[in-house]
C-alpha cells in the first residue's frame, strides 16, 4: 500500500508562502485558508511533492493537463532540446517548423482519423493555434460567424467553455457571469440539453444561430455524460439549420475518456473541435481545428492576421505537444483509460469520473480529507458537490485501487 501522510498539511512552508502570496496576488485568485493550499514543488508521474516535502498522489492531473504524468521524461527531453535551439518565434509572421508539424499531426488525429474510419469523406482540416482553452473557444466562435454569417450561439445549461469574454458568453455558470453581465456580448442562448429546447432556440433566434457549442462530457459541470442519442441529435439539427457543431474537447480530448476524442463514443464528427489542456502535457498551448472548407471562411492573410497572439505556435509548446502526442500513441492511452475506467468510483467515461455528494460542504470535507491522506482531488459541478477525479492516464492499477479505497472510506461508498 502507498503510505498515508504522517505530517499536517499544509505544512509550515506552504503556509508561509500562502501568507506572502496573499500580500501580492489579487485576492480573488488563490483560495487560502488554514487547510488550503499546498505549494507544489516538483512532480514525477502521478506524484507531486509540496514545498514541505510531502508526497501526494495526484487525481487531478493538474486540471486534466498532465495526462502523461508530471514531467514525462520524453516530453521534458523534447522541451530541453527545443530550449537549446529556440524558445520563441513569430507565430503569424516568421513561424517555426514545429508549428507546421503540429498542425499536420492534429489534422491527422482528428479529421484524418475520422475519414479513415469512414465517418466522413473529406479528411482535410485546418488549425488556429492559441494559448489557452478559452482562446481556442474564441477562435471557434469567430469561425462560426465567418462561416455562417449568423452571430447566435447555442450552449447548454451547466456548460463551461472558459472565462475570457467570448468564451464566458458561452459559459453558463451564473457564478462566473453575474459580476460581468453588463459587459457580456450576449450572443449565446443557454438551453436544456433536449431536442425540443435546441429546436426552440433555433426557431426563436432573432439573427440566426451559427453554432452549437457542446462539451461531449461536461467536465467542470460535474462529469455529466449525455444520453446516447444527444450528440447525433445535435449533428442532425445543426445540419438542418446550416449551423456549425463545435465540440469543446479541451477537457475530454486526447484519450481522457477512453477514446482519442470523446465525440468518438457516439460516432459524431463535429465541424470544429477545440483542444488544449493535455495537448502538451504542461505548456499553455491550445488549438481550434476545423473542417478545411469551414476554416476557409477566414480570408487569406494579406499581411495582418485577423486573429492571432504573440505566443501563437510557440516552438517550445509545439515541441512539447508533438512529443506528448507521440507518447500518447506509443502508450495507447485511449485503450488504457478505457480499461481502467471502473477502478475509480462515480459516473463518467475513461479516467474522467465524478462522485456526486450531498452538497458542497460534504464535497469540500472529502477533498480536504483526501489532501490530509496525501491524495489530490478537486470538487466540481455548478453546486460544488461533485468529487472530480481525472488522474494522469498513466496511473498504475495499484495507485488507482489505493485511491479508490481512500475515496470509498471518506465518502462511505460501498467497497467494490
Ligand X SMILES: Cc1ncc(COP(=O)(O)O)c(C=O)c1O
Between 288 and 410, name the residue whose CB sits nearer to ligand X. 288
Between 10 and 253, name the residue whose CB sits nearer to ligand X. 253
**Closest distance to ligand X from the beta carbon of 413 (Å):** 25
How many CB atoms lie under 10 A from the CB of residue 1? 7
User: 195-204 and 230-240 are packed helices; what angle lies between their axes, rounded to 10 degrees?
Assistant: 20
Please provide residue 399's backbone torsions phi and psi, each rounded to the nearest 5 degrees.
Answer: -65, -40
Q: What is the C-alpha separation between 281 and 60, in angstroms, rounded?
A: 13
User: Which residue among 50, 58, 92, 248 contacts ligand X (CB under 6 A)?
Assistant: 248
Please provide residue 188's backbone torsions phi and psi, each rounded to the nearest 5 degrees.
Answer: -100, 140
**Closest distance to ligand X from the beta carbon of 28 (Å):** 15
Please provide residue 372's backbone torsions phi and psi, each rounded to the nearest 5 degrees.
Answer: -65, -30
Between 40 and 49, name the residue whose CB sits nearer to ligand X. 40
What Rg do the C-alpha atoms of the chain give, in angstroms?
21
Between 250 and 322, name the residue whose CB sits nearer to ligand X. 250
Please state the length of the chain: 416
Using CB under 6 A as the binding rule, whether residue 215 contacts ligand X is answered as yes
Q: Residues in contact with ligand X, total (CB under 6 A)?
A: 14
Q: Give the single-character DSSP code of 235.
A: H
Between 134 and 394, name the residue whose CB sits nearer to ligand X. 134
The set of residues, in sequence order, having a beta carbon less than 8 Å from that of 148 and lying 6+ positions away, is 208, 210, 211, 242, 243, 244
Between 111 and 160, name the residue whose CB sits nearer to ligand X. 160
- Binding to ligand X, residues 130-169 (CB under 6 A): 132-134, 137, 160-162
Please check whether residue 148 is in contact with residue 242, taking contact to mean a CB–CB distance below 8 angstroms: yes
**Closest distance to ligand X from the beta carbon of 286 (Å):** 6
Using CB under 6 A as the binding rule, whether residue 220 contacts ligand X is answered as yes
Residue where the block lists cell 477545440: 274
Q: What is the C-alpha separation between 66 and 393, in angstroms, rounded?
A: 8
- Binding to ligand X, residues 375-394 (CB under 6 A): none
Using CB under 6 A as the binding rule, whether residue 250 contacts ligand X is answered as yes
**Closest distance to ligand X from the beta carbon of 248 (Å):** 5
**Closest distance to ligand X from the beta carbon of 252 (Å):** 7
Residues near ligand X, by CB under 6 A: 132-134, 137, 160-162, 215, 219-220, 248, 250-251, 276
Amino acid at each position: 500500500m502507498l503510505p498515508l501522510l504522517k505530517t499536517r498539511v499544509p505544512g509550515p512552508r506552504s503556509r508561509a508562502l500562502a501568507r506572502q502570496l496573499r500580500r501580492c496576488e489579487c485576492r480573488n485568485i488563490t483560495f487560502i485558508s488554514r487547510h488550503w493550499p499546498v505549494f507544489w514543488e516538483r512532480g514525477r508521474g502521478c506524484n507531486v511533492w509540496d514545498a514541505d516535502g510531502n508526497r501526494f498522489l495526484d487525481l487531478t492531473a493538474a486540471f486534466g493537463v498532465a495526462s502523461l504524468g508530471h514531467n514525462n521524461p520524453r516530453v521534458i527531453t523534447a522541451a530541453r532540446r527545443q530550449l537549446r535551439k529556440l524558445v520563441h518565434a513569430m507565430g503569424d509572421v516568421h513561424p517555426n517548423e514545429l508549428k507546421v508539424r503540429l498542425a499536420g499531426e492534429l489534422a491527422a488525429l482528428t479529421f484524418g482519423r475520422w475519414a479513415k474510419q469512414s465517418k466522413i469523406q473529406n479528411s482535410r482540416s485546418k488549425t488556429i493555434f492559441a494559448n489557452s482553452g478559452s482562446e481556442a473557444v474564441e477562435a471557434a466562435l469567430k469561425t462560426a460567424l465567418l462561416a455562417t454569417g449568423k452571430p447566435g450561439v447555442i450552449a447548454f445549461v451547466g456548460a463551461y467553455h472558459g472565462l475570457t469574454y467570448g468564451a464566458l458568453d458561452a459559459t453558463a455558470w451564473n457564478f462566473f457571469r453575474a459580476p460581468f453581465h453588463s459587459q457580456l456580448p450576449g450572443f449565446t442562448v443557454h438551453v436544456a440539453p433536449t431536442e425540443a429546447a435546441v429546436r426552440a432556440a433555433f426557431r426563436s433566434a432573432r439573427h440566426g444561430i451559427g453554432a452549437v457549442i457542446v462539451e461531449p462530457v461536461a467536465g467542470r459541470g460535474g462529469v455529466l455524460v449525455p444520453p446516447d442519442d444527444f450528440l447525433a441529435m445535435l449533428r442532425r439539427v445543426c445540419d438542418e439549420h446550416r449551423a456549425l457543431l463545435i465540440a469543446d474537447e479541451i477537457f475530454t480530448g486526447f484519450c481522457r475518456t477512453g477514446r482519442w476524442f470523446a465525440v468518438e463514443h457516439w460516432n459524431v464528427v463535429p465541424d470544429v473541435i477545440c483542444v488544449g489542456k493535455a495537448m502538451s502535457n504542461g505548456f499553455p498551448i491550445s488549438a481550434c481545428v476545423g473542417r478545411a472548407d469551414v476554416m476557409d471562411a477566414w480570408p487569406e492573410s494579406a499581411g495582418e492576421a485577423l486573429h492571432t497572439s504573440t505566443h501563437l505556435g510557440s516552438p517550445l509548446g509545439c515541441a512539447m505537444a508533438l512529443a506528448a502526442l507521440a507518447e500518447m500513441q506509443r502508450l495507447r492511452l485511449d485503450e488504457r483509460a478505457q480499461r481502467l475506467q471502473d477502478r475509480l468510483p462515480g459516473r463518467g467515461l475513461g479516467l474522467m469520473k465524478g462522485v456526486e455528494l450531498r452538497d458542497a460542504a460534504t464535497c469540500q470535507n472529502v477533498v480536504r480529507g483526501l489532501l490530509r491522506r496525501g491524495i489530490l482531488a478537486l470538487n466540481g459541478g455548478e453546486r460544488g458537490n461533485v468529487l472530480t477525479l481525472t488522474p494522469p492516464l498513466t496511473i498504475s492499477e495499484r495507485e488507482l485501487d489505493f485511491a479508490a479505497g481512500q475515496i470509498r472510506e471518506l465518502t462511505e461508498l460501498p467497497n467494490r
